[in-house]
Structure 1
Amino acid sequence: MFGKKTTATSPTASDNEAGIKSETNNFYDPNIASNTGVEYDELNVVCPAHTTEKKLMTKIDLRVIPFLCILYLLAFLDRVNIANARSFGLIAELKLQGNQYNTALTIFFVPYILFEIPSNVLLKKFSPRIWLSACMFMFGVVSICQGLVQNYAGLLVTRFFLGVFEAGMFPGCFYLIGMWYKRSEAQRRYSFFFSSTTLAGAFGGLLASAIGKMDGLQGYKGWRWIFILEGVLTSVVALVFFFFIPSFPEDASWLSQDEREYVKARLQADQGRSAAERKITIRDVGRVFKDYKVILGGFMYFGMIVPAYGYAYFAPAIITTYKYSPIQTQLHSVPPWACAFAFAMIIAFCSDYTRHRFLFTIFPIAISMSGFCILLAVHNNTPVQYAGLFLVAMGAYSAMPVIVCWFNMNLGGHHRRSVGSAWQVGFGNIGGIIATYSFLAKDAPKYTKGYAICLGFLCLAMASCCAYAAAVWSENRKRDKTPVDVGLTEYEKTELGDMNPEYRYLL
């Protein structure tokens, strides 16, 4: 069923035409050798006879992406629905004073940051199906409890445990998606997944406007019903998803043996061997952080988190200053999210089509920066201010998935990708703490300090992207000038991942 495969050798003229070839659909990439340097004398891997590559990838798309999108949509919804609840009287009923609301937002990020890397290690140990569905069920339960709290202390406790159980969602899902797709086809999948955050923002606004009308039902205020009903939804979906969340390609029982072998072979040619069979050790973690490019990846995401969470947590409060009622505020929060989703998908398709990432981070960041400049300069023109919010959301939520995809798909192997993806998201989310204190009640309605802080962090993100692009370009050039065959065994190449001198980074 599969063509003969030989071990890697030093490159020759004929080797440079190596790739994975499907006789049924002519999938052939002569540039694979330049991607990873993994050379094959006689690699002629074909799709199983009962399918084609296109059909197989559609099958994978339908099993992997929708479930992870719904999972993260509910996670993000349960995380930021406190902004909707605020519009329906949470602060007044819990008698929050000063910056207590901001502190409640901040405490979520403490465990969320600390448990990113341990969560990804546990995800690999227990399998995504078990780990992700268990975490999903638990943060749904915590969300229900959040709707039943009676004081500030109770709100802090529930926000803390929400951070504990949501810690593994984002890096875990990105890590899992990265183990299914080649680098040239991953961006639109990453962006579609990441855009579940924009759908959550739009869905949350619509849902909150409807649930808010339940104010007083069973003696509960409308803000409580937002937490309770959305938490119940999450927990029920988690029980169902236990049977549907995908595993890694090596363990996917819903693929035939031939299909699993084909998926593994095409990924190996694009990214090198994954070493999925070996456990992650402390030494693996330490080796990842010896690479300065990994540090840059953290700063790229760190710079984006502040404006992204600043918008997610405070957009309803900002829109409220435009003199809208609570329900009108929720409804006006929907269109910017919807436009952000559409723009993110356009950016993703263009990025995958051109097989380029760098410029597709810089352009959206510039758009978001222009939005914050409008908000800083205009204070008495509601339509223009509202248009500024569109630019902020469209730019921030389009650049973030490209940044994460670019960095993650440049990491070779399970170990470096597992640790690196968790590091990027974990370190980046320190920016969430900064975002929660950037928009204080005393700064309303202009929020000059918050807008300026967000603009500054966007500059940091742009500078970090430029530095990372220069680093991978320089590394590729250096490797092009050095001998490819340096006597490494297949095991050594696998252990090195993208540090293998034959590997080539995507710019």
Structure 2
Amino acid sequence: MDNKDSVEFNEKEEVRHNVAHIDDAARRAERKLRNKIDLFVVPTVTLLYLMCFIDRSNIGNARLAGFEKDLTLKGFDYNTVLSVFYVSYILFEIPATLCCKLIGPGWFLPLTTFGFGAMSVATAFVHTRAQACAVRFLLGIFEAGVMPGSAYYLSRWYRRSELTFRLGLWMTMAPLSGAFGGLMASGILKLKSFGSLHGWQMIFAIEGIITMVLSLIAFVTLTDRPETARWMSEEEKELAINRVKSERLAQPVLLDKVDAKKLKRGFSNPITLATASIFLLDNITVLGISFFLPTIIKAIYPGRTTVQQQLLTVPPYIVGAGCTVILTTLSWRLNTRQILIVLTGPLVVIGYAIFLGTMNANVRYAAVFLSASTAFSLGAMTNAQVSANANSDSARNIAIGTNAMFGYVGGLISTWTYLPGDAPRYSVGNGINLGCAAAWTAIAIGALFWMKYDNKKREEREVGAHEELAGLTRKEIQDLEWKHPGWRWKL
């Protein structure tokens, strides 16, 4: 090697070394920022969602403590009270999600949390079925935007690969709410009274007051978006915006204004609709567990005390939370969601098959763990999947809202899966849940193969992509969303 070649070689090596050094420094800066966002953003929405689920499902604990008896509910009255909540929830789901975008999550989430906390307190004072239905209807209005609003809020801060794990931490509050709810209910019921309230009334009142206090704290701690974060420097704000915006195809800004064309694309997105269908089927199971697990435990162990029955509801929820963390961690590290969604169904199928096949108390209790294991993780997985496969902020907002709306159609169905005349085997309820798990597995497999097939087709026609975009304005190109020739489905 002559001197000239030696000089060129050394210069190239120096350039490579400098580039590697810059890349390493950029990765360290982004990792530091991500950790900071984790600390300031995730805890608040996680606590709010925990109380959201507790205030929704504590009626199951109240039922064991005499709610049904004191209100003289008979036959299907309890199921009717449960159903009313989902009627308002479904009707207000998408309007609430759009409202979250319009006024900003930093204001919307604390306000709506204060509202559903107040409705929980109000439930402590109902004396008739009509009053209970009225309060549950209002509870559904206030809770409608919490789940999609929180998922949409987190999507403003994280890359696609990172979002699933953060949604997983947030969604562990669904199963943990069952655990905390059972523990809190058993603790509260040991009190003689809370003011003039007794028994099940104390459950609603105390848990509602805790919710309202947390909502007031959230007004201070919840930062609306990166630009308004007082705890970030200007350089960190720019990095927070650019790293998320870099994944948005042909979108000049991270947070756009509400756009009708993009909203339509987000709603009609085939992966949004397929994933939302999976979440609908999953929620029949998850919310069936949330509302009826105390009832199921009572049927399995009728001789136990009320407090013992409440405590037996706790371990299955902890298993569900653990499985959610494991699956979403795998999703983050492998940067995939669809395959893991496919894998959630089989354990649930086995659990409900055992329920149908035996009346042995201990075996049936073990089956509860299988049924609750992977089902809870789909809240995080499906929201992350529709978010990953929606391009602009408007499309992502409506896609997450659509997923949540479908999910709570499943919630409405779940309120009628366990009926009094079906006890103690509950063949109908367990059979419905077995079928749901099998069906969402089939849909997930079909969607996986379709995405791979469509991505391959898009690769083949990539040569003509420029011709497809020729003659379109910049705004028309931005509005293409998943119809853009450069778009690829995210598995």
TM-score (norm 2): 0.90
Question: Secondary structure of 2:479's match?
Answer: helix
Partner residue in 1 for 2:16: none
Q: Provide the C-alpha distance between the structure 1 equivalents of 2:92 and 2:366, rounded to a whole number of angstroms.
A: 37
1:456 to 431, 435, 450: 435
Deviations 1:441-481 (A, max 9, x none): 11111111000111111222112212322232222112211
Aligned equivalent of 1:502? 486
Aligned residue identity for 1:429: Y
Choose which of 214, 220, 232 in structure 1 pairs with 2:191.
214
1:354 and 2:334 correspond:
yes
| C-alpha distance in structure 1 between counterparts of 2:50 and 2:23, whole Å | 34
* CA positional deviation for 1:307: 0.5
Matches within 5 A, 1:186-197: 186-197=163-174
Residue 341 in structure 1 maps to residue 321 in structure 2: yes
Question: Hey, which bits of structure 1, 4+ residues long, moved more than 6 A?
Answer: none
| Corresponding letter in the other structure for 1:293 | I
Q: How does 1:2-17 map to 2 (within 5 A)?
A: none
264-273 vs 278-287, which deviates more?
A: 278-287
1:475 aligns with 2:454: yes
Task: Please tell me whether residue 391 in structure 1 is matched to residue 370 in structure 2.
Answer: yes
Distance 1:344 1:150, change over 3 A: same
Partners of 1:366 and 1:499 lie apart in 2 by 34
Aligned mates of 1:479, 1:298 — CA distance in 2: 24
Give the match's secondary structure for 1:26.
helix
Q: Distance in 1 between matches of 2:241 and 2:193?
A: 55
Tell me the CA shift for residue 250 of structure 1. 4.0
Give the residue type in structure 1 aligned to 2:388: M
Q: Is this contact kept in 1: 2:123–2:132, CA < 8 A?
A: yes
Whether 2:83 is the aligned partner of 1:106: answer: yes
Q: How many Å separate the matches in 1 of 2:133 and 2:393?
A: 35
Please give the alpha-carbon distance, in whole angstroms, between the structure 2 residues aligned to 1:218 and 1:175: 39
1:77-476 equivalent positions in 2, closer than 5 A: 77-216=54-193, 218-272=195-249, 273=251, 275-321=253-299, 322-323=301-302, 324-379=304-359, 381-476=360-455
Paired with 2:473 and 2:41, the residues of 1 have a C-alpha distance of 33
- C-alpha distance after superposition, 1:343-386 (max 9, x if no partner): 1111111122222222211222111111111111111x222111
Shift in Å, 1:274: 6.8
Distance across 2 between alignment mates of 1:407 and 1:112:
20
What residue is the counterpart of 1:35 in the other structure?
A: none
- Seen in structure 2, the aligned counterparts of structure 1 residues 24 and 87 have a Cα distance that, compared at 3 Å, is farther
| Offset from partner CA, 1:169-196 (integer Å, 9 cap, x none) | 0001111112211112222111111111
Q: Compute the displacement of 1:69 (Å).
A: 0.5
**Aligned residues between the structures:** 465
Aligned to 2:8: none
Secondary structure in 2 matching 1:213: coil
In the superposition, relative to structure 1, how do residues 293 and 432 fare at CA in structure 2: closer, same or farther (>3 Å)? same
Q: More displaced, 382-391 or 284-293?
A: 284-293
What's the Cα RMSD here?
A: 2.0
| CA gap 1:277/1:392 in 2 versus in 1, 3 angstroms | closer
Offset from partner CA, 1:393-412 (integer Å, 9 cap, x none): 11211233212212222111
Distance 1:271 1:329 in 2: 49
Q: Tell me: CA distance 1:146–1:24, structure 2 relative to 1, closer, same or farther (3 Å).
A: farther
Q: Deviations over 1:267-318 (max 9, x none)?
A: 1222333745542144443333343333212211111010011111000000
Deviation track 1:179-217 (CA, whole Å, cap 9, x = no partner) reads 211112222111111111111111001000011112555
Q: Mean alpha-carbon deviation: is it higher for 268-277 or for 297-306?
A: 268-277
Q: Give the secondary structure class of the aligned counterpart of 2:337.
A: coil
Q: Which runs of 5+ in 2 are unaligned?
A: 1-18
For 1:61, the equivalent position in structure 2 comes to: 38
**Counterpart residue number, 1:26:** 24
More displaced stretch, 489-498 vs 363-372: 489-498
Query: What is the aligned-residue identity percentage?
Result: 32
> Which stretch shifts more, 190-199 or 485-494?
485-494
2-side partners of 1:196 and 1:443: how far apart? 30
Amino acid at match of 1:115: F
Cα distance change on mapping 1:217 and 1:128 into 2, 3 Å: closer
CA displacement, residues 321-360 of structure 1 (integer Å, 9 cap, x when unaligned): 1122110011111111111111111111112222222221
Q: Is the contact between residue 274 and residue 413 of structure 1 (CA under 8 Å) also seen in structure 2?
A: no
Following the alignment from structure 2 to structure 1, what is the Cα–Cα distance between the partners of residues 42 and 297?
32
Kindly indicate whether the alpha-carbon contact (under 8 Å) linking 1:22 and 1:53 is maintained by their aligned counterparts in 2: no
Q: TM-score normalised to the size of structure 1?
A: 0.87
Judge conservation of contact 1:275–1:495 (CA < 8 Å) in 2. no
**Mapped partners of 2:288, 2:171: distance in 1:** 17
Residues 285 and 419, structure 1, Cα contact 8 Å, conserved in 2: yes
CA distance in 1, matches of 2:397, 2:385: 15
**1:424 counterpart letter in structure 2:** N
What secondary structure does 1:504 align onto?
coil
Q: State the SS of the aligned residue for 1:242.
A: helix
Q: Is the 8 A contact 2:178 2:290 kept in 1?
A: yes
Structure 1, unpaired ranges of 5+:
1-20, 28-45
Q: CA deviation at 1:24?
A: 5.9
